[in-house]
Each structure stands twice: as C-alpha cells, then as structure tokens.
Amino acid sequence: MEPLRIHQGIVCPINRANIDTDQIIPKQFLKRIERSGFGQFLFYNWRFDDEGNPNPEFPLNQPQYKGASILVAGENFGCGSSREHAPWAVQDFGFRVIIAPSFADIFKNNTVKNGILAIQATEEQVQTIMKKAETEGYTLTINLEDQIVYDSEGFKFTFDIAPYPKEMLLNGWDEIGVTLKYEDKIAQYEQSKQLVHTK
C-alpha cells in the first residue's frame, strides 16, 4: 500500500448519517474473488437509477467532485455488516481519507488494513467541511504525522489516532507488512525449531 503522510485532495460531501456497508457496496457485487474492481459499484444504489443511469443529484456524479480523494459523511459511517468489501470499494474508487463524527468499529479497523485514514471529527467540524465543500474545488490537507486537518482559509483541527494504525498508514503497511518487520526473528525461530527436531 502507498504510505500516507501528508495528503491533499478534493473533498466530496455525502450529508447522510448511518451509511451502512450495504449501501457502500450492495450485496449483488460481492461475488468477485479479488480485492480490485469494487470502486465502480461504490454507493451503486444512490449513484444510479433502476435503469443504470447516473443520478445527477448524487455528489459522486457531479463534475465538481470528480477526482475527490477525501470523503466527508455523517455519524456512524460504515455500520451494518462487517464485510471488508466496503473499504475495498472506497479505496478502489480513489478515497484515501474519510471524515465523519463517528464510525462503526469493524469498518474503522478495516479501513486501516486497506490504507484508508478514518478521521473522527466533531459534528460541528463535519458540518463546516460539508458547507465549504459546496464550493467547487474545495480541498483539505491532512498531515498524519502531526494529526492535523486544515484548508487554505484558516480552518484547522487536530484529530486522534492510536499509535499502531498511525504507524501502519505512515509506512503503507497492511498486517502482512507488519509481520514482515519481524522476518529475521521469525526465520531464526523457525531455524531453532528445525534444529530441535533434528536432534
């Protein structure tokens, strides 16, 4: 995964609370066996009508949010089932950061495993971002090392993140990558076990 240290991107607002994983990636698209390719189905039931035509009212279909890499949404984002396909779809679509007042625990844990930074902000901060994001091209900068979110207009706030997920995101590690940090020690342990069995 790509390390995430300082990220600047266009903000796309979805002003809805309790966005669940069934809306993030509907169940009919879960048959794929690889992790890639889910982005095209992100928020499918909101992005498209029954005939498969884009819904012009939905933010992701509006030209001003094309290429957005920061998603801001209402509270309890990622609730519902524990499917990891949801962060796969978010990441595959191009989002690196999600800002919301709260997240479902399993979803938030899965974001880290897939290189997405989930930032918990206050309701007031989220609503401020929502309003600012109505302006075309509105961007935020996220400095993960200093744990700061800011824009070019003086808006700024800090956020909390535990040391372990912060280290994973800063280095672009998934759980396998974290394990490989100890590759030498693992090899030494395996070798010592082989020596015991050969005696």
pLDDT (0 to 100) of residue 82: 87
Using DSSP bridges, classify how beta strands 156-158 and 148-150 pair: parallel, antiparallel or unpaired: antiparallel
Instruction: Answer whether residue 31 shows pLDDT above 90.
Output: no
Both tokens of residue 35?
A: 């992790």
User: What are the start-end ranges of the E strands in the chain?
Assistant: 6-14, 70-73, 97-100, 117-120, 139-143, 148-150, 156-158
As a dihedral over the C-alpha atoms of residue 21, residue 26, residue 28, residue 29, rounded to 10 degrees, the angle is: -80
- Whole-number percent of the chain with pLDDT over 90: 80
pLDDT digits (tens, 9 = 90+) for 112-166: 999 999 999 999 999 999 999 999 999 999 999 999 999 999 999 999 999 999 9
d(CA 174, CA 111): 10
Position of tokens 């005939």?
51
d(CA 78, CA 82): 9
